[in-house]
Amino acid sequence: MAADCTVIAADHPESAADEVIADAGFLVKPTVDALTAQLDAALGSARPPASPADHAQKYDWDAIAEQAETAYQRAIDGTW
């Protein structure tokens, strides 16, 4: 998304893809037919409603790394 590429992800109930991608990409049923149809659409110039690059700016990797480090440290310390 940060490279302004169209993102296509499988819509799976145990995935956070819908939260991360939102309307800056496409979620499809996890089937060959659904993926094929969306790939064809994307190759035919279909773009998501929101700009993938603009949406990606909402995610700061430094902040995410700090959150992960804190979570791991809490798990190690047994303070989870």
Quick: pLDDT tens for 1-26.
Answer: 889 899 999 998 888 888 889 999 99
Angle CA(58)–CA(63)–CA(66) in degrees, nearest 5? 155
Quick: pLDDT tens for 56-79.
Answer: 877 878 878 888 999 999 999 998
With b for 16 or more beta-carbon neighbours within 10 A and e for fewer, the 33-61 pattern comes to ebbeebeeebeeeeebeeebeebbeeeee
The pLDDT score that the predictor gives to residue 64 is 83
Give the Cα separation of 78 and 72 in Å (integer): 10
The pLDDT score that the predictor gives to residue 57 is 78
How many CB atoms are located within 10 Å of the residue 6 CB?
A: 18
Kindly report the pTM of this predicted structure: 0.69
Are 36 and 18 in contact, with CB atoms under 8 Å apart? no
Are 60 and 66 in contact, with CB atoms under 8 Å apart? no
